[in-house]
Chains A and B, each alone.
Chain A
Amino acid sequence: MRYVKGLKCRECGREYPVEPIYVCEFCFGPLEAAYDYTKIKRALSRRTIEKRQKTLWRYKELLPIDGEPQVGLNSGFTPLVKAYTLAKYLGVKELYIKDDTVNHPTLSFKDRVVAVALTKAKEFGFNTAACASTGNLAQAVSALGTKSGFQRFIFIPATLEQNKILASIAYEPNLVAVDGNYDDVNRLCSEIANKHKWAFVNINIRPFYAEGSKTMGFEIVEQLGWDAPDCIVVPCASGSLLTKIWKALKEFKEIGLIKELDTRIYGAQATGCSPISTAFKQGTDVIRPVKPSTIAKSLAIGNPADGFYALQVVRESGGAVEDVSDEEIVDSIKILAKTEGIFAETAGGVTLATYIKLLKEGKIDKKDCTVLCITGNGLKTAEVLNGKTAEVYHIKPNLASFEEALKKINQKEGR
């Protein structure tokens, strides 16, 4: 059963049929999936959803596919962790971590978007899947793509962290490392997509792919007992996740799954790549591209395609955008790990550090029920902690040596 009416230009409103196209032929605005909400309202209730398997596909009527899900059948529905240890540490009342560090199969939120993109690519009849990626997307397309029988072409910036390269090449896609940054890779892929008729998940499949991000928003609401939180803090690279989480909340209200929606959406960026934050602070909606320089490589998009819409969402919802230094990012990775036992990649450090900054600035109140979107696993970028971790105690393999070390540890901890 199909619930998508078609694609619609976000700028001029022109409508298009469901095809692998992504920009309006008239104004070049981005195309977005448009749904028949009356029909969805009849088909979907809290009870229907609750009876289904705990994956992102439990919201399938709100995703842009025609048939049954085909890819990523175990993806999504990651834990919403009540972060009482971190809340106590920060002196706030109610805090949750939406923990996509354990998404299946590649430990980042990209498993969500790729599950939807490749299901749609199957429906379109493509046999080659491709993407431009800073790493997480590369892994998700490599893994989910091989499982579902696609030929895979993965384009990455050659400077990517070694771990992320290994984590993609392990699935043996055609991995192409490009001399340049993410924006260079992205431009090149657009040029390649003109020539080769492949399913580029974040280019010609983008209107479908991007919808997968909504599932993070759906899950947050359901896991809070069908309630939207006061604040959600979302890391921003292109700005797409942030806009789709907002779309998810609005859709739940539209079809009557929640009654109230007073959530404020906050964007988090690294100062070394903060075009959205800069525009927000300057009070403009013109995003000036930048050349990224930050350890948060998964957020290093200097020319964010959805930046304009991310700003709109933040302003409409009454939120804010803030950016943080590489040092604050590393500190926050450590704080999250030592309080909640969750090891996040650099983007997670950006999100927590931004939350801490917003608390200090009074833009988020200590009483606000807040959800932090932690989008990727720390093992992917573990090298940023080199030389910055707690001390390791080296001992000889005998009891005396251990007792000596224990004395030191006890002294340090004041026992």
Chain B
Amino acid sequence: MAVRILIPTPLQRLTNNKDVVEAEPGKIIDIINSLDKKFPGFAERLCQDGKIRRFINIYVNEEDVRFLQGEETRVKDGDEISIVPAIAGGKS
């Protein structure tokens, strides 16, 4: 088993139009860097100076990593990562 990563539409151009990709378990930041080797430009889109960009939300098993250990959050075999551009609604 590996880690599943859900890819949002604006990033799918980099992942050969795949909406799900897989990676080896590890820290979030290491997973992003490993995907960058497979899909050049991937890390640059998501991170700036090793930190997740302000407009990107990353979830591990439906929990926002900012409530976990941020970039350092460890992801296990079978976990699911979701990358979501910041958007909103509800009320203003």
Interfacial residues, chain A to chain B (CB-CB below 8 A):
11, 21-30, 109-110, 131-134, 136-137, 180, 182-184, 186-187, 190-191, 193-195, 201-203, 206, 213, 234-242, 244, 286, 288-289, 291, 298-301, 303-306, 308, 347, 375-376
Contact = CB atoms under 8 A, between A and B. Distances in A.
A187 B84 contact: yes
Contacts of B55: 11, 23, 27-30, 305
B54 interface: yes
A237 B91 contact: yes
B39 to A, nearest CB: 14
Contacts of A239: 88, 92
B1 interface: no
B64 A134 contact: no
Nearest to B84: A190
Nearest to B46: A28
A186 B56 contact: no
A194 B17 CA distance: 11
Contacts of A191: 6, 82, 84
Interface in B31-69: 45-46, 53-57, 59, 62, 64, 66-67
B10 A21 contact: yes
A216 to B, nearest CB: 9
Q: Which 7 A-B pairs have the closest CB atoms?
A: A241-B92, A202-B89, A238-B88, A305-B88, A237-B91, A134-B90, A23-B85
A298 B88 contact: no
Given A11-B55, A28-B53, A303 B86 contact: yes
Is the interface on chain B under 10, 10 to 19, 20 to 34, or 35 or more residues? 20 to 34
B89 A133 contact: yes
B42 to A, nearest CB: 12
B13 interface: yes
B19 A187 contact: no
A277 to B, nearest CB: 14
A183 B92 contact: no
Given A187-B57, A238-B90, 8 more contacts: A109-B91, A132-B89, A187-B62, A201-B89, A234-B92, A240-B92, A241-B91, A303-B57
Contacts of A29: 55
A239 B89 CA distance: 9
Contacts of B45: 25-28
Contacts of B10: 21, 23-25, 28
A183 B66 CA distance: 13
B91 A110 contact: yes
Contacts of B91: 109-110, 134, 136-137, 235, 237-238, 241, 298-299, 301, 347, 375-376
A212 to B, nearest CB: 11
A186 B9 contact: no
A334 to B, nearest CB: 21
A298 B89 CA distance: 10
B88 A240 contact: yes
B58 to A, nearest CB: 10
Contacts of B85: 22-23, 28, 190
Nearest to B53: A28
Contact of A288 (B6, B12, B66, B87): B66
Which of A21, A27, A193, A347 has its CB near the most chain B CB atoms (within 10 A)?
A: A27
B25 interface: no
B54 A186 contact: no
Contacts of B26: none
A16 to B, nearest CB: 11
Contacts of B82: 187, 191
Contacts of B46: 28
Contacts of A134: 89-91
A232 to B, nearest CB: 12
